[in-house]
Amino acid sequence: MDRLSIDIFCRVVDNFGDIGVCWRLAKQLAHTSAVKAVRLWVDDLHSFARIEPRLNAATAGASVDEVAIVHWTPSPPDLVPHDVVIEAFACDPPPRFIERMVEQDSLWINLEYLSAEPWVESCHALPSLQANGLSKAFFFPGFTPVTGGLLHEPNLLLDRDAWLAEPALRDGLLRNIGLPEPHIAALLSGARQILLFAYPQVPATSLLQALASQATPSVILVPTGVCPDLARGQHGAAYVHDIPFVDQPSFDRLLWSSDLNCVRGEDSLVRALWAGKPLLWHIYPQDDNAHMAKLDAWLALSPFQPLIADVMRAWNQSSTQSSTTLLRQALAPHAWAEWQAGSAHWTRQLAQLPDLAGALVSFCLQRKES
Ligand code: TRH
């Protein structure tokens, strides 16, 4: 079987999750031996450059990390489709391109959003015949072996552990994000590092209140623009510090080195899972509280104690009072040790799943051969 060539289409709906997922997938596919070419079509290069600053230096049509980048404008270039066309999150490739996919008999895949809901297993990889005669397959990432799995580069956990084994690398990262010297020293000698990445309605004050009264000092790192109402500076035992937006590899390292990761959406959740530390997931809010059912489905798969599930629900229900009370309980030594152990255990389990990029390649090779 010939090596695959792959187009990925990404429309940035809001925030950074769409491009965050597509960029990780594109890079991993481009470094897969069964793949000969990857082309990524993105409508919003400005958002893309926030997570991949190398893009700023690249000229139009250039490649970054062996991925050819195409600016998906209202009049996109009329290119011949590759063997496989992945549209991320039902983003609708240009009509002319779809016409040409029919001529090329391209394999068409819609990469879906991540969900832990049980129905995902029965829908994963199902084909759907389109009016133009092409069949489009629905590929679902997920947390069980019956789904497409999670994005996970080969050696990711080994790379993480090697990085963590060198405290000088962490020291350099903390300097790069502008953390004042005394707080770097505190972190390197055992203070808790917290990363706070969440949507505006998160009850961030509850986290601050719970940490401020702890015996262990903590430093809360807040990416620029996140939780603007949370007062920066020292509050009891907790220090809140604004950090600049960093590239994806640095973002991952912040997650690896934090003791508690407050993450949101899709991509930072998965990356926090690979960090193997306690995390608080602020799920992307949807109408009619549909996101709470998704949160419950995810909690049902998790190994977390009922207390941690309650913390996670309060965190997502913007309930400052109950979130503060529950967080204080979760940070108490015994519960905290259990939360840490459960998180590390789940990471090891999830790392056994097929990784999303590998599962996609196997699926495409099978479909191309049949
Ligand atoms: O930005 P998000 O809120 O994206 C969301 C979700 O994906 C949601 O499911 C989707 O429907 C919506 O977008 C449209 O959160 P997420 O998914 O965690 O993506 C953030 C990306 O930004 C992730 O790839 C990490 C990256 N990032 C950096 O690279 N550097 C940074 O400094 C920060 C804060 C984030």
How remote is the CA of residue 53 from the centroid of ligand 1, in Å?
15
Task: Provide mean pLDDT across the span 97-121.
Answer: 97
Kindly give, in sequence order, each residue whose CB lies less than 8 Å from that of residue 166, ignoring residues fewer than 6 positions away.
none
Task: Provide mean pLDDT across the span 257-285.
Answer: 98
How remote is the CA of residue 138 from the centroid of ligand 1, in Å?
22
Category of 205 on φ-ψ map: left (φ > 0), alpha (ψ -120 to 50) or beta: alpha
Cβ of 112 closer than 6 Å to ligand 1, yes or no, is no
Residue nearest atom 3 of ligand 1, based on CA coordinates:
265
Residue 57 has pLDDT above 90, yes or no: no
Distances (CA, A) of 325 to 199, 291, 310: 21, 23, 11
| pLDDT tens digits for range 171-199 | 999 999 999 999 999 999 999 999 999 99
Give the H/E segment covering residue 161: helix 156-164
High-pLDDT (> 90) share of the chain, %: 95
Determine the pLDDT at residue 37. 98
Q: How far apart are the C-alpha atoms of 136 and 323, rounded to whole Å?
A: 43
Residue 58 has pLDDT above 70, yes or no: no
Determine the pLDDT at residue 358. 98
Residue 306 has pLDDT above 70, yes or no: yes
Determine the pLDDT at residue 337. 98
Show which residues are catalytic.
18, 266
For the chain, state the CA radius of gyration.
Answer: 21
Substitution site in 10, 16, 258, 291 for ligand 1 pocket (most atoms within 8 Å of beta carbon): 16
Residue 295 has pLDDT above 90, yes or no: yes
Task: Provide mean pLDDT across the span 346-369.
Answer: 95
Give the strand pairing for 238-243 and 233-235: antiparallel
Residues 68, 98: contact at Cβ < 8 Å? Answer: no
Position 44: which residue type? D
Q: Kindly report whether the global pTM for this prediction surpasses the value 0.75.
A: yes
- Four-residue CA torsion sign, 32, 42, 261, 310: negative
How remote is the CA of residue 101 from the centroid of ligand 1, in Å?
30
Residues 97, 81: contact at Cβ < 8 Å? Answer: yes
**Structure tokens that stand for 105 in this block:** 């008999």
The torsion of the CA quartet 130, 135, 136, 138, rounded to 10 degrees, works out to 120
pLDDT band of residue 211 (cuts 50, 70, 90) is very high
Residue 60 has pLDDT above 80, yes or no: no
Give the H/E segment covering residue 219: strand 218-223
Q: How far apart are the C-alpha atoms of 275 and 194, rounded to whole Å?
A: 13
Angle at 306 between CA 305 and CA 312, to 5 degrees: 95
Q: Point out the ligand 1 atom lying closest to the alpha carbon of residue 269.
A: 18
Determine the pLDDT at residue 219. 98
Q: Point out the ligand 1 atom lying closest to the alpha carbon of residue 266.
A: 17
Task: Provide mean pLDDT across the span 139-154.
Answer: 97
How remote is the CA of residue 186 from the centroid of ligand 1, in Å?
28
Mean pLDDT value across the chain: 96
Is 222 in a helix, a strand, or coil? strand
For the chain, give the number of residues. Answer: 370
Cβ of 141 closer than 6 Å to ligand 1, yes or no, is no
Using alpha carbons, select from 150, 126, 120 the residue that is nearest to residue 138: 126
Residues pairing with 110 in the sheet: 87, 138
How remote is the CA of residue 330 from the centroid of ligand 1, in Å?
26
Residues 329, 307: contact at Cβ < 8 Å? Answer: yes
Task: Provide mean pLDDT across the span 40-45.
Answer: 96
| pLDDT tens digits for range 320-347 | 999 999 999 999 999 999 999 999 999 9
Task: Provide mean pLDDT across the span 50-70.
Answer: 87
| pLDDT tens digits for range 118-140 | 999 999 999 999 999 999 999 99
Residues pairing with 126 in the sheet: 138
Task: Provide mean pLDDT across the span 223-238.
Answer: 96
Substitution site in 15, 245, 246, 279 for ligand 1 pocket (most atoms within 8 Å of beta carbon): 15
Q: How far apart are the C-alpha atoms of 232 and 249, rounded to whole Å?
A: 25
Q: How far apart are the C-alpha atoms of 322 and 102, rounded to whole Å?
A: 55
Q: How far apart are the C-alpha atoms of 22 and 41, rounded to whole Å?
A: 10
Determine the pLDDT at residue 259. 98
Cα within 13 Å of Cα(156), Cβ side: 24
Where b means 16+ CB within 10 Å and e means fewer, 288-316 reads eeeeeebbebbbebbebeebbbbbbbbbb
Cβ of 268 closer than 6 Å to ligand 1, yes or no, is yes
Residue nearest atom 12 of ligand 1, based on CA coordinates:
17
pLDDT band of residue 244 (cuts 50, 70, 90) is very high
| pLDDT tens digits for range 66-83 | 999 999 999 999 999 999
pLDDT band of residue 1 (cuts 50, 70, 90) is low
